[in-house]
Structure 1
Amino acid sequence: MAMRPNRYHILPSQAMTRRVHHRHSPQSFAVSLASRLLVKNVVRAWAIQPNLHWPFQYVDGLAGLMPHFPHSAQIEPIRLENCAAEWVRAPGVSAKRAILYLHGGAFLTCGLNTHRSLVTRLSKAADAGVLTVGYRKLPTHQIADAIEDGMNGLRWLAERGYGGGQIVVAGDSAGGYLAFMIALAAVRTRVVRPAGIATISPFTDADPARKLRHRNARRCSMFTRAALSMFARYLGEVRLPHDGGTAARVESPVDADLSSLPPVTIHASSDELLLPDAELMAERLQFSGVRCDLHLWDRQIHDFPIAADILPEGRQAIRYIGDFIKEVTAAADGLPGGRRHWVGRQQADFAAAAG
C-alpha cells in the first residue's frame, strides 16, 4: 500500500492532539523493575535463540490458571469461523455500542485469558460490549489470517445489529497493528466503517530502523535492540509448510492510505521501544486529515494498561479510552455534545492531576 503524499489541509477537528502524563505512581516503579528483571531477560534470551521451541502457545492457558482480581462481567464464549472469541459485558453496559478487541503478544502469544481483565475494565469504561478475538497466530498461521479473524469479528457484530457508527476497533501492541489493518480492510471492502480506532502501544511500522535509532532502544524496560532486529527478521522470514517456501510480506499501517479512517486515539509510554511507531502513526494520520488523540505516559512499561489491576496509570488510560469510545459513538447513540463532554472530562482530570 502506497503512502499518500503529505499535502493535506488539517481542519481543527482533525488535528492531532498530544497529551503527556508526567505523574507516575510507586506501583509503576515496581512494575518497571519486574519487567526489566523478568520479561526483558526472556526477550533477550529469545533474541539469542529464536529457533528454540519456546512455549509461547501455552502462555494464555497458564494465564487462565493464575489467580486474578475479581471482575464481575458477563462472558459469553463465541466461535468465529476459524478461532474462538468472547463477548464480554460489564454489568449494566449499553447495548448501543460495541468494541472489537485484538490482544497483543507479538503475533505469537497471549490470548483471551491474558487480556480478560483489561477487556472487562474497558467494557465498563466505554459502557459497551466487547468482542475480544482469539485470532490465529504465528508461526502456524500468517498475519493475514489474524486480520481475517478480526474481519469475521466485525461481521459477527454486524449480524448482532451493530452499525459502523456503533463500533470501535481496539487493540494493544500487535493487536494495535491488527486494529489499524482490520479497520483499513473493513473500509476498503465496505464491510463497515467503524466509528473510531483505539490503540495501546501499537506496532505500526514493520521497518525497525526508526526504532533502532531512537533513544528508547536502550531505555525500554521490556525489549532490547537485538530482540527488535530479530523480530523484524522473523516477520520477514516466517513461512508456512504449504507456502512453497514463500514468506508473506508484512505491510505497515503507517504506509497505507489512511485518509478514510475514523478518529483515532493512541496511548503509549514515553519510554518504550514502540514510541516511534505511535508518534509516526499520529503524524501520518494528521497528514491524512484524520483526527488523532495521542497520549504519552512517562515511565511506564510497554502496554502498561495490561497491568491495570496494579497500575493506577493503566486504569486511568482505560478510562480515557472509554471516554473516547463513548464520544465517537455518541451520534449513533443519539447523544448530543459527546465531544464537548469528553473534552470537559479530560480537562477536569488534568486539572486534578496538576493540583
Structure 2
Amino acid sequence: MITRGLRRRVHRRRSAQSVAVSLTSRFFVKNLVRAWAVRPDLAWPFASVDRFAALVPYDGTVEVRRIRLGRCVAERIQTTGASTQRAILYLHGGAFFTCGLNTHRSLAARLSREANACVLNIDYRMLPSHRMSDAIDDALSGFRWLLRRGYEPEQIVVAGDSAGGYLAFMTVLAAQHSEKVRPAGIAVISPFTDANPATKLCHRNASRCAMFPGGALSVFTRYLLRARAASPVDADLSSLPPVTIHVSSDELLLPDAEIMAQRLDAAGVRCDLHLWDGQIHDFPLAADVLPEGRRAIRYIGEFVKEVTEDLSGPDLTAA
C-alpha cells in the first residue's frame, strides 16, 4: 500500500571517497563554474562534455539500443535479465546546456539493474539553441514511445537529475494535461524546481556548496528568464503520483528539494525526501566511485519497484 504524506530520511554516514570527490569538485568544478559566470558570453565547449564521456566504456552486460524520437534521439538501456514489466523515462541533468546520453549511460544502467526495469534515456534538445518547451516535448515523445510499446502509465516512472529533475516534474504535469495519463511515480536527484533564485541565495549553502558558487546562480537565472522557465513548485501538484527526492544537505539546490517536498505534502502527494550529508550536487552520477551514490540508486530502484504495478509487460526485445 502506498501511503501519502512526507517521509524524510537523513543519511549521515560519509565515506572517504565522498570527501575526496567533494574536494575535487570544490577546487576544479566550482572554479570552472565561477569562470563561466564571469564570461558566460564565451564559446564554452558544452557539447565536448558528452563527447568526452563517450570514451568511457560501459558494462558489457548492458544492452544499449539507439532510438529516433521525432526531433531527438534516445537510448533504450536494459541490463541482462531486467524485467520488461516496468520502465523508467530518464532525463539527464546538465543545467539545460550540457551532458547527454554518454555522461548518464552508467547511471541509467545502474537504475535498470536496481529497479529491474528498462530505462529510456532521452537526448532532449537543450538551451540556448532550443527552447525549454522543446525539451519537454522531447520527453513527452519518449513517454508516448513507451506507451506505443505496450507499457501502461502505471508501469512507467519518470526520473531525472538536476535540470532533468525539473524536466521530470514538468513532463508529468504536461502528460497529465495533454495525454490525460499519469505515470506511476517521479524519482529525482538534486532537482531544480524553483526558477526564482532568492531562497537559494539566502540559504547557508550558497557559500558552502562544493560545486556551484552562489554568484553563478544569478547569471544562470538570466538564461532561464529568456527561456521563460516556469517553476514546478508553483504548479498545481495535487494530481501528481508518488515522488522520491534525493539531495545533498550541503548543495545549492537543497532549498529547491525541500520546498518541493513541502508543497507536495501540502497537496496531499506522497514524497520520500532523502537528505545526504556531505555529498556533492548530483552525487549518484559519480556512483562508480561513490558508495553513497550506489546506495541512493538502490533506494530509487526500490521506489520504482514499489510504485509500479506488477503487470504483464511488453516484450521489448524486438523494439
TM-score by length of 2: 0.96
Residue deviations 1:233-265, cap 9 Å, x none? Answer: 12113xxxxxxxxxx421000000000100000
Q: Give 5+ residue unaligned stretches, structure 1.
A: 1-11, 238-247, 335-355
Q: 1:88 aligns with which of 72, 77, 80?
A: 77
- Corresponding residue for 2:8? 18
Tell whether 2:167 aligns with 1:178: yes
Distance 1:140 1:103, change over 3 A: same
From 144, 150, 170, the equivalent of 1:155 is 144
> Percent identity, aligned pairs only?
65
The 8 Å contact of residues 69 and 309 in structure 1, kept in 2 or not, is answered as no
Q: Confirm or deny: 8 A CA contact 1:78 1:85 kept in the other structure.
A: yes
Partner Cα separation in structure 2 for residue 37 and residue 249 of structure 1: 32
**Offset at residue 316 of structure 1 (A):** 0.3
Corresponding residue for residue 127 of structure 1: 116
Q: CA RMSD in A?
A: 1.3
1:142 and 2:131 equivalent?
A: yes
Aligned twin of 1:249: 228
* 1:68 Cα deviation after fit: 4.2
* Segments of 4+ moved more than 6 angstroms: none
Among candidates 278, 281, 290, match of residue 260 of structure 2: 281
Asked if the contact 1:217/1:273 (under 8 Å) is kept, the reply is: yes
- 1:333 deviates by 6.1
Could you tell me which residue of structure 1 aligns to residue 316 of structure 2?
none
Q: CA deviation at 1:332?
A: 3.9
| Distance in structure 1 (CA, Å) of the matches to 2:103 and 2:129 | 20
Q: 1:302 to 1:181 in 2, by over 3 A?
A: same
1:293 to 262, 265, 272: 272
The C-alpha deviation readout for 1:51-95, integer Å capped at 9, x for no partner, is 100000221111102x34635201010110011100000110111
Structure possessing the higher radius of gyration over alpha carbons: 1
Residues 1:63 and 2:63 are matched in the alignment: no
Would you say 1:265 and 2:234 are equivalent positions? no
Aligned partner of residue 268 in structure 1, secondary structure: strand
| C-alpha distance in structure 2 between counterparts of 1:333 and 1:215, whole Å | 48
- Listed as ranges, the matches of 1:1-355 within 5 Å are 13-65=3-55, 67-68=56-57, 70=59, 72-237=61-226, 248-332=227-311
The one-letter code sitting in structure 1 at the alignment partner of 2:131 is: Q
Checking the alignment, whether the CA contact within 8 Å between 1:21 and 1:298 is kept in structure 2 is yes
How many matched pairs?
312
Indicate conservation of the 8 Å contact 1:102/1:172, yes or no.
Answer: yes
